[in-house]
A and B are shown apart, each in its own frame.
Chain A
Amino acid sequence: MKYLVRLQEGAKKVATRDAYGEALAELGRENPDVVALDADLSKSTKTAVFGKAFPARFFNMGIAEANMMATAAGLAAAGKVPFASTFAVFATGRAFDQVRNSICYPHLNVKIAASHAGITVGEDGGSHQSVEDIALMRVLPNMTVIVPADAGETRAAVRAAAALDGPVYLRLGRAGGPIIFGPDYSFRVGEAVVLREGRDVSLFACGVMVAEALKAADQLAGEGLEAEVVNVSSLKPFDWRTVAESVVRTGAAVSAEEHSIIGGLGGAVAECLAERHPVPLVRVGLRDTFGESGTPDELMKAYGLTAADIVRAAKEAIQRRRV
């Protein structure tokens, strides 16, 4: 799919978790079977918006994530469409076996919308910054994994998740990010979207790194290099075709994610290229390390997750293609 965009300077910033809260409440108005669960973080994950609108369909399960996930499984087994939210680190780590055995193995219709993913959590530090959740969820059979890039895509992803029968993991952020997509954007599960065309290098990004990749493409253009930017919001199912076709055109690739370079988007792109069309790949992401306290901006710089880092990676990939 193609949806060509340019980042607007000074665009309004909205956190994907805020978009989730609104979208979930909206969904609740349309579908009486939608229920929400939270583990004492409803103000942070924004399920509180739903809880306020539909108190009878909102279940605060307390600080007990394992029970929350398996309770959601029971609700789904009885026909409900449960959205279960907490921080990404707890949703995928603390309750992994519940997600695996109670949700994915029986293919139950549970939507896990996890906020505070990645290092843009900021000051709370490494204990709260999930750098491994995509890898953990992506490896589970039956699971769909979506990492929306902005508020609009989040709203669309929430709807798409509800429309899909089966487990979905939605990865949401705490910090505000620029609006990328207009109201005409149509999100489809399993489709990567070309946001900008170019023939020198493919920049595959997800989540907050999509905006950084668009900025990087602008900077590269200033140096005479044309970067293709692809939004890979569907980590699973993974759009092998769009990714492979892009590198056939460009011959060099960069992956960019707010996650470990192991097992997440970088891992998925590497798997795809290795099997379909091997080209030099440079992965931008956390280099097998946990995060730490700091402001989101400081951390993104410290861990090499900025447009400048993507520019450097792109040049390296192009360089390696030439030798």
Chain B
Amino acid sequence: MTAAAKSGHPGGSLSAADILAALYFRVLRVDPSRPGWPERDRFVLSKGHAAPALYAALAERGYFPVEELKTLRRIHSRLQGHPDMRKTPGVEASTGSLGQGLSMAGGMALAGRLDGCDWRVYALLGDGECEEGQVWEAAMAAAHYRLDNLTAFLDNNGLQIDGPIEQVMSPNPLNDKWRAFGWHVIEIDGHDFGQILGAVDEAKKTKGRPTMIVARTIKGKGCSFMENEAEWHGKAPSPEQAEQALRDLEKGGAAR
């Protein structure tokens, strides 16, 4: 997709792809034929630059045709460079300015609880994104209001744009911070479906506080030349590289 668009964010899309696949195919109570169904679960992609992975999940799940993925980032496309809730069916929040999605998810969770509904809210944050102060405002508020209908994932790939998070501006120790902010924290391998689904079950059973699933991930996962390379954060592969990437991903899929 990013190769066709000649721009975009492959690295952070690939690190989150397994979590998104698990969410859209095993976890979220959604109905692609009714994107506005009031009783649906909500998912907020706070790290909005991973839009390609979200769009792929939405298309595969049936929100819109898979062929439409090629229109990513093109003029008049429903698939904007960053998620746009007004343009794309299935997108629950407009994101892209990092640090805001967890607040929006918290607002949705408050609304759901006010109405006595049982739908749940999920969010996905980046580890670099946790350098934004607003993330911690939202963390504080979600714990304060005991939002146990809110579950967040942290895509802990260790990289941001300018390099490793440890070098640029360390938000670590992330697990301790979320715990200290009053969240139930679960650590998992973000590329292991069993662990992802197990953590979601645990989150559903956790009462009185929100859950943060810190998922250890590999930026550029599944693509030999992108894995753990910060430079692949916001750069599209060439057509040849894209083919190589798809071959890598297919091999990985077969091995699993």
Which residues of B are at the interface with A, using a C-beta cutoff of 8 A? Answer: 38, 42, 44, 84-86, 92-97, 99-101, 103-112, 114-115, 133-134, 137-138, 140-141, 144-145
Given the known A-B contacts A66-B137, A77-B92, are A71 and B97 also in contact in the complex, defined by CB atoms under 8 Å?
no
Across the interface, do B103 and A106 meet the contact criterion of CB distance under 8 Å?
Answer: no
Q: Give which listed residue, A62, A74, A80, A98, contacts B105 with CB less than 8 A.
A: A74
Which chain A residues border B97 with CB–CB below 8 Å?
97, 100-102
Which chain B residues border A82 with CB–CB below 8 Å?
107
- State the interface size on chain A (CB cutoff 8 A): 30
Which residues of A are at the interface with B, using a C-beta cutoff of 8 A? Answer: 35, 56-57, 59, 61-62, 64, 66-67, 69-80, 82, 97-98, 100-102, 105-107
Across the interface, do A77 and B85 meet the contact criterion of CB distance under 8 Å?
Answer: yes
Cα A97 to Cα B101 with chains together (Å): 13
Cα A76 to Cα B86 with chains together (Å): 14
Across the interface, do A102 and B100 meet the contact criterion of CB distance under 8 Å?
Answer: yes
Cα A102 to Cα B104 with chains together (Å): 8
Which chain B residues border A77 with CB–CB below 8 Å?
42, 85, 92-93, 104, 107-108, 111
Across the interface, do B111 and A106 meet the contact criterion of CB distance under 8 Å?
Answer: no
Cα A35 to Cα B113 with chains together (Å): 13
Across the interface, do B137 and A67 meet the contact criterion of CB distance under 8 Å?
Answer: yes
Across the interface, do A80 and B114 meet the contact criterion of CB distance under 8 Å?
Answer: yes
Given the known A-B contacts A77-B92, A79-B111, are A59 and B145 also in contact in the complex, defined by CB atoms under 8 Å?
yes
Give, as a whole number of angstroms, the nearest-CB distance from A118 to chain B: 27
Q: Using A102-B104, A106-B93 as known contacts, list a sample of 12 further A-B pairs with CB atoms less than 8 Å apart, ordered by residue number in A.
A: A62-B141, A67-B106, A67-B134, A71-B107, A73-B93, A74-B93, A75-B107, A75-B111, A77-B104, A78-B111, A79-B115, A106-B85
Across the interface, do A106 and B94 meet the contact criterion of CB distance under 8 Å?
Answer: yes
Across the interface, do B108 and A98 meet the contact criterion of CB distance under 8 Å?
Answer: no
Across the interface, do B112 and A101 meet the contact criterion of CB distance under 8 Å?
Answer: no
Which chain A residues border B144 with CB–CB below 8 Å?
62
Across the interface, do A80 and B141 meet the contact criterion of CB distance under 8 Å?
Answer: no
